[in-house]
Amino acid sequence: MLDFDKLDRTIHEKGRLAIMTLLATRPSWAFQDLKAELKMSDGNLVTHLRTLHQGGYVAVTKAMLDRPQTSYALTEKGRTAFQDYLRVLEQIVKAGKR
């Protein structure tokens, strides 16, 4: 039987789920844009991003444009994990409707 235990624990946390969702919408997100959109503190956001990066779900890019900028993007592994997460959620919803 499907339940929340089947969900990827790395993604299944409110803050990290929100980060993964936003990263899925664009090729990359700048740190400041993620922070503004999610209204998280620097420390909180960095902690979640580090967890996702250590899990291999997020790639970090540091660029020097008019000022130093750090951007984050989903890796292939992260994109697959997110899609699998969505699939499990949908299956839980469908199972509940039977």
Partner 1 sequence: MNEQERAEEHLRTIRRLMERGTIYRAISAPTALVGGLLSLAASGIWLVSPVQNPEHHCNFLLLWIVVFLLTAGTNTLFIVHGARKRNEPVFSASMKAACSALAPPFLAAAVLTLLFVVAASDPLNQVTLGITWAICYGLGLLATSHFAPRSLTILGWAFLISGLGAVAAVRFAGNPMIWTLIDSHAVLFMAATFGLFHLIYAACAWPRAGAAPEL
Q: Which residues pair with 62 in a beta bridge?
A: 70
Q: How far is the CB of 11 from partner 1 (least distance, A)?
A: 10
Kindly tell me which of 41 and 87 has the beta carbon lying closer to partner 1.
87
Q: Which two tokens stand for residue 1?
A: 């039987």
Q: Contact 52/13 with Cβ under 8 angstroms? A: no
Kindly tell me which of 18 and 47 has the beta carbon lying closer to partner 1.
18
- Residues near partner 1 (CB under 8 A) are 3-4, 17-18, 21-22, 24-26, 28-29, 37, 56, 59-63, 65, 71, 73, 75, 86, 89-90, 92-93, 95-97
Nearest to 39 by CA among 14, 70, 59: 14
